[in-house]
Structure 1
Amino acid sequence: MILVTGATGTVGRPLVDELLAAGRKVRALSRAPARAGLPAEVEVAATADLPLDGITSVFFVMNAFPGGSAEPIARMKAAGVRRIVALSSYSVLDDDPKNMIGVKHRDLERQIEETGVEWTFLRPAGGFAATALEWAEQIRTDGVARFPFGDAWTAPVHERDIAAVAARALLTDELAGDTPLFSGPESLSYADRARIIGEVTGEPVRFAELSHDEARQEWLRAGVPPHAVEARLKMFAKMVGRPHEISPVDPFLGRPGLTFAQWVADHTNTFRKVTS
């Protein structure tokens, strides 16, 4: 049986579907099992309980364990889990000690390697397409996408592509001991993202560039910690005017990656304008 942590999350949910389609038994962890809304054939359990009986492989998401990864990883090792496929980040390649995303994911990879179990570390690059959901409410209400760096470039990756690579790592031996790094198939600015959302939904979206102070206040109101706000501003500033390098997912899936337009098509109703 395969254990999926973070099973109702951005990557975990499509991964559950991938594994079911392959005919595999799935135990899905959720912080609120009663509200998980997963298919009936999925065994749903509480993340806090971490039931590992009968589990041979695990999809591991660090954010599913806010208390830290070390203890659940040690329990997986002790329970006889043979393979852990972890959602890491290409930020591990940045050795800047101030890059906390890289630091945390390097620590995660080290903890898993030290167990001696088989592993695969997924390193998606270019940002998640799903970050565009932060615009959903403002697009629905007034057709505007607000962001401080209209000319910051990324290569947004569809969560279904991440889930498909994870499924391959869980279901075959082809990615054992590998660190697949892949981005979305196209380099886009944030202004491009807004335009594409409008094109796909048929409801034009205007991009409004925020000043740094406006963005700072908006993110603080949204609950982003002050140190993370400043890190965001620095990170996006480095992306301005620099098209993102494309790392194709084709070698891992045998097909091109899904485009941002395809991602929007999968989430069209999320961006539909509110009508009275």
Structure 2
Amino acid sequence: MNTEPILVIGAGGQVGASVVEQLVAAGAKVRASARNPEKLSVPAGVEVVRADVLSPETLPAALAGVRKVFLYALPQGIADFLDAARAAGVEQIVLLSSQTVVDAFPEQKPITEMHRAVEEAIAGSGIAYTFLRPHNFATNILMWGWPESIRTEGRVRFPYPGSHSDAIHEKDIAAVAVKALTEPGHEGQAYFLSGPESVTQRRQLEIIGEVIGRELVFEELTDAEARRALEPIVPIWVMDAVVGYWEHSDGVPSHLSDTVERITGRPARTFAEWAADHAAEFTG
């Protein structure tokens, strides 16, 4: 194992936090960063620093002595980040990107362009890269207000109950990232990551109910009702992208990949395993 620290940008995120934990478990030296590092909760022995790709002055100190970096896709500031990474002698970037760069519906174009811009900048930087391309995060339902609605009402109000998802556990994305950061042979690769099953939104709710031991109700919203409910939560372009995806995937099983098992040696976690890991969020 290298003695240089591996820098995890965005260590407060669901995936970033798991990358930190799994790197520590693998015996790696870890430097965790965030815009507000005082809010980070990390394992003992992890160095904590401030790094913000939108604030270039924070990058040299965060990158000092670093050879490998885990990075979220953010087009703003990527040029400054890559300049700082080259100056610091960074040798590999593992990027959390998106499968929408190669497989997207028209409504997802802004998401596609955002991730593609970052991938292209990194590919042209001269720094070795590994692109991780999940499609649907299991954690997305946390963003849509499911936990509070389940806790307080025993129901969710949502559109397209038959919309399929290849929902992947954040721990599996992180596990592949850790392999790419700690083992050779992943340079220049782009990996499509998915969960092991195509599961509808209605079935996701049923699984959560089975895990927490409570019968839950799916109250279907129309497209227009869903957009009104989402408007205060996300920008219009995000709303268009996600509602468009739900519409196109209604009744259409998701494509799946075996990449998690092939890279890590263990099957990808099911949605039921994800729900069990997050049960406290649905029960209070």
Distance 2:95 2:81 in 1: 13
Q: What CA deviation, in whole Å up to 9, does each residue of 1:72-112 have, x standing for no partner?
A: 12211121001100001111104769611111111111111
**Structure 2 spans left out of the alignment, 5+ residues:** 53-57
Percent of aligned pairs sharing the same letter: 42
Q: Tell me if 1:72 matches 2:81.
A: yes
Which structure 1 residue ranges, 4+ long, deviate > 6 Å from structure 2? Answer: none
CA contact (8 A) 1:62 1:68 kept: no
Q: What is the identity, as a one-letter code, of the residue corresponding to 2:29?
A: K
| CA offsets 1:9-29 (integer angstroms, 9 cap, x no match) | 010001101110111111111
Distance in 1 (CA, whole Å) between partners of 2:76 and 2:125 is 19
Alignment of 1:47-126 (within 5 A): 47-48=51-52, 49-50=58-59, 51-63=62-74, 67-94=76-103, 99-125=109-135
1:143-189 superposed Cα distances (whole Å, 9 cap, x missing partner): 11221110111110000000000000000112111111121001110
For normalisation by structure 2, the TM-score amounts to 0.90
Give the alignment of 1:1-276 within 5 angstroms: 1-48=5-52, 49-50=58-59, 51-63=62-74, 67-94=76-103, 99-125=109-135, 127-133=136-142, 134=144, 135-222=146-233, 224-248=234-258, 249-272=260-283
User: Structure 1 residues 199, 262: closer, same or farther in 2, change over 3 A?
Assistant: same
Structure 1 residues 90-99 or 20-29, which shifts more?
A: 90-99
Structure 1 residue runs without a partner (length 5+) = none
> SS state of the match for residue 16, structure 1?
helix
Cα distance in 2 for residues equivalent to 1:229 and 1:181: 24
| Amino acid aligned to 2:33 | L
Note the alpha carbon deviations across 1:8-50, whole angstroms, 9 max, x for none.
Answer: 1010001101110111111111121111111231111112322
Give the superposition deviation at 1:132.
2.0
In the comparison of the two structures, how many residue pairs are matched?
Answer: 269
User: What whole-Å deviation, never above 9, does each CA across 1:229-272 have from its counterpart, x for those lacking one?
Assistant: 22322221100110112112211111210000000110111000
After superposing the two structures, state which structure 1 stretch, 157-166 or 107-116, moved more. 107-116
In 2, Cα distance between equivalents of 1:260 and 1:217 = 28
SS at match of 1:242: coil
Q: 1:151 to 1:213 in 2, by over 3 A?
A: same
Contact 2:138–2:168 under 8 Å retained in 1: yes
